[in-house]
Amino acid sequence: MNPSSPKKIAQFIKQKSIELGFASCGVAKASFLEEEAPRLESWLKKDFQGEMSYMNNHFDLRLDVRKLVPGAKSVIVLTYNYYPKEELSGPYKVAKYAYGRDYHKVLKKKLKTLHKMISEEYGKIEGRGFVDSGPVMERVWAKKAGLGWIGKNSLLLTKKQGSFYFICELILDLEIEPDQPVSDYCGSCTACMDACPTDAITTPYIVDGSKCISYLTIELKNEIPSSFKNKMEDWVFGCDICQDVCPWNRFSKANQESDFTLKEGVTLLNKGEINQLLEVEFHKLFEGSPIKRTGFRGISRNVTFLKQKK
């Protein structure tokens, strides 16, 4: 075991995160998210979660990671770039994060490797890794860890790389020097709010999830309400509108991850040829893809809904 100071430990972890391909790494002290409690409660009471009933669960765990990881002292937050080398330009749009392999699989493996590296250097360290999984308020923790600020579209923004990246966490029972939060650089800009065709961004920093195109095409299990007809702007899986118009995303650079290479199924979906497939063919094409989450019936519903306007 290497008896190092919290500062040295932070330096070691950040160096290893770079070696593993992460875009950035920050640390926050594990604590109760006092400021988020009333915000989360208000958001839920307004039913902005829509059919995402899981958001109603584990309220106390969402606000205190120490209940997720007993004895937790630090939250390591990491970002991983997914901005594609080239964007699709077919009639049906797919969110950029879904171009390649399911990010959960890619990043969970990297988190396990980082955890192992830390344990090998400092002795057995207890903890858990989270990749958009579990009741962890990842953007809040990323903000506390100094990785960026939460924009008016509720996404984490950074000066160097915009917002096209995944966020994941490693919560450990290890004392690590925390980073300091950065300022909000959205200023008077309302580009994301002005561009949202469904008016999902109700007020700055507050998103009505039940109106978001990503929710409508992925999380919603029932039929898409007719009130959204001609408002979907040809998005068949997810949506990037509020990110595409964000001035900070002009600094986005193509990712270097081979697992995020464009999948054949995504190209077919983008061309609108997916409804010609049988269900068994769909599952084969999208094996290991985020798009499999919506399923054959969900994607077929989305394509049919979009065609209604044509």
Enumerate the active-site residues.
132
Angle at 241 between CA 87 and CA 111, to 5 degrees: 70
Distance CA 210, CA 129 (A): 28
| Contact assessment for residue 91 and residue 46, using Cβ atoms and an 8 Å cutoff | no
Whether 124 contacts 71, CB under 8 Å: no
State how far the Cα of 196 lies from the Cα of 231, in Å rounded to an integer. 9
| The pair of three-digit structure tokens given for residue 278, joined into one six-digit string | 């049988």
Distance between CA 122 and CA 125 in Å, rounded?
A: 7
Distance CA 147, CA 47 (A): 29
Q: Which residues contact 54 (CB under 8 A, 6 or more apart)?
A: none
| Cα 177 to Cα 146: distance, rounded to the nearest angstrom | 12
**Contact (CB, 8 A) for 79 and 147:** yes
